[in-house]
Amino acid sequence: MKSTYTKKLIDYICFTKDRVTSNIVNPYEKELDFQSSENSYFILDEEITQFEKFYSGLFNSLQSSLEICAKDRDVFLDYYSDPRLYQILTHNKFDVFRGIFRHDVLEVNGTLKLLEINGGANIGGWELDMLAPMQLEYLRKANLFSQEVISYRSVVASMIDSLIVQMASLDKEKLSGNIGVFITKMDYININKRNFYASFFDDIYRSSAQYKEGQVHLICEEQSLQISEDGALCFDEIPIDALLMMEHNISRELQEKLLVSHLTKKIFCTDTLLNNLVSDKSTMALLHDIRIFDLQPQSIKQWITQNVPWTIRLDRYLNGCFEHKSSIDIIKNQADFVIKKCRSLQGKDVYIGRFMTAEKWQSLILNIDETQDWIVQQYFESDLLPSIDAELEPISVPFVWGVFDFNGQYGGSLIRSFISSQVNDGVINAANGAVVVTVFEELQIDDQLTLIL
């Protein structure tokens, strides 16, 4: 059963022409780099359970695949071309669950299918925390909902709660409770930006029910970080237990030290070289690579087959390294496939065959130079989302879930969709004109929704 609140809110908006989100005066508007939908979506506990089962299946599959891969140096270097990272991972126990992620997921006939994994603190989407509470208050003041029947799960608050749990599990004699937030130097020297980050993160941290001690420290220069021989991290001699990386422009040497400290549980770091490896789209090809897949237990094979669209690196496809799909012709069957660059963001370098002419599709495949940096992936059409168009009329559109995963726990979600049935290249991304839909949770209490129509 799914919540009926979404349809009832759509009925209200279409009937009254009330532009719910546009009517809100948002002091944080400049911080939002996406267009927010007038509509919202509501989920029940059973959908949250479905997400967490998906996380479990995904990371069991990733953990097993990477452990198998780590036993075969040639396969690892074939995918990641990083001998030093291979050495670190083979000399330290690693756990891919320990991280901060947003999974972009399609819902296809009710089944969740992975599009990509985004890892680290600066994954985008958490900015809804600056809008959703005002949307919620507007809906309540408009007498749309009886009191306490819906709630918003703060992504940042969920992330901070997860950090506290991870800090408590560190292998250290004494915990400081201090969290470092590494931001760009430009943001640091901007007084308004610096004050915003400081108050935003510190207020949420101190208001957590799990907070004991410590504070948030803003960092903008890697020279101010010191890592001791045993892996402990300090910021200008202040001990740090967890590090959020909003800025990734740091030296390789520091990245390697942070990874080792993270793996040995001296710190919890949200952005490591392991995160980068998991977030590389070629990892979805690794899951399907027969050198790895054939060694998996049947339960993991079934999960990958059901939840990860068949994926192969483009160079391996062109070389015929796909025994399980040997009859596939991606040129003749372009409507069934997508080509993506392994490392790109915001929907860039994503080409969906059915939205291209045959000539452009074939030209794309034949003119990609670094074919090892691209993947071919099976295309699926998503289920349709009930929504509204620009004129506040009802419409059903394809959509993508962005579900936040903090160490296997649901940490909130968002939806991206278009406000028109006419799409150009089929890539559903906020940078490509999609709107972001706030997701609220329906509380399991007797109080029912009342609409004034």
Q: What pLDDT does 196 receive?
A: 86
Examine the pLDDT at 158 and tell me if it is beyond 80.
yes
CB 62 within 8 A of CB 36: no
Q: How many CB atoms lie within 10 A of CB 383?
A: 14
Average pLDDT over residues 295-312: 97
> How does pLDDT run across 181-206, given as a tens digit for each residue?
999 999 999 998 899 889 989 999 99
Examine the pLDDT at 228 and tell me if it is beyond 50.
yes
More confident residue, 364 or 430: 364
pTM beyond 0.85: the answer is: yes
Q: What pLDDT does 120 receive?
A: 87
> How does pLDDT run across 388-437, given as a tens digit for each residue?
988 999 999 999 999 999 988 999 999 999 887 666 667 887 777 788 99
Segment among 81-95, 145-159, 385-399 with least mean pLDDT: 145-159
Average pLDDT over residues 106-133: 90
Rounded (5°) CA angle 355-429-397: 65
Q: What pLDDT does 244 receive?
A: 93
Examine the pLDDT at 50 and tell me if it is beyond 80.
yes
The interaxial angle of helices 83-91 and 73-80, nearest 10 deg, is 130
Q: What pLDDT does 451 receive?
A: 41
Phi, psi dihedrals of residue 160, rounded to the nearest 5°: -65, -45
- pLDDT band with cut points at 50, 70 and 90 for residue 300: very high
Examine the pLDDT at 139 and tell me if it is beyond 80.
yes
Structure tokens at 39: 């509509």
- pLDDT band with cut points at 50, 70 and 90 for residue 450: very low
Structure tokens at 140: 């309540």
CB 172 within 8 A of CB 241: yes
Structure tokens at 248: 């990734």
Examine the pLDDT at 378 and tell me if it is beyond 90.
yes
> How far apart are the C-alpha atoms of 381 and 449, rounded to whole Å?
32
Phi, psi dihedrals of residue 403, rounded to the nearest 5°: -110, 130
Task: Provide the mean pLDDT of the chain.
Answer: 89
Q: What pLDDT does 413 receive?
A: 96
Q: Domain-by-domain residue ranges, the chain?
A: 310-378
> How does pLDDT run across 350-362, given as a tens digit for each residue?
999 999 999 999 9
> How far apart are the C-alpha atoms of 383 and 398, rounded to whole Å?
6
> How far apart are the C-alpha atoms of 118 and 70, rounded to whole Å?
22
Structure tokens at 296: 């998996």
CB 235 within 8 A of CB 224: yes
Using the structure block, give the residue that is written with the tokens 């890592």: 227
Phi, psi dihedrals of residue 292, rounded to the nearest 5°: -105, -50
Please give the torsion angle defined by the CA atoms of residues 27, 30, 33 and 38, in that order, rounded to the nearest 10 degrees.
40
Examine the pLDDT at 157 and tell me if it is beyond 70.
yes
Average pLDDT over residues 209-225: 94
> How far apart are the C-alpha atoms of 190 and 225, rounded to whole Å?
21
Percent of the chain topping pLDDT 90: 66
Examine the pLDDT at 153 and tell me if it is beyond 70.
yes
Segment among 51-55, 122-126, 283-287 with least mean pLDDT: 122-126
Residue closest to 269 by CA, chosen among 92, 117, 98: 98
Q: What pLDDT does 345 receive?
A: 66
Average pLDDT over residues 18-28: 80
- pLDDT band with cut points at 50, 70 and 90 for residue 147: low
> How does pLDDT run across 308-332, given as a tens digit for each residue?
999 999 998 888 766 555 567 888 8
One-letter amino acid of 419: I
One-letter amino acid of 365: I
- pLDDT band with cut points at 50, 70 and 90 for residue 257: very high
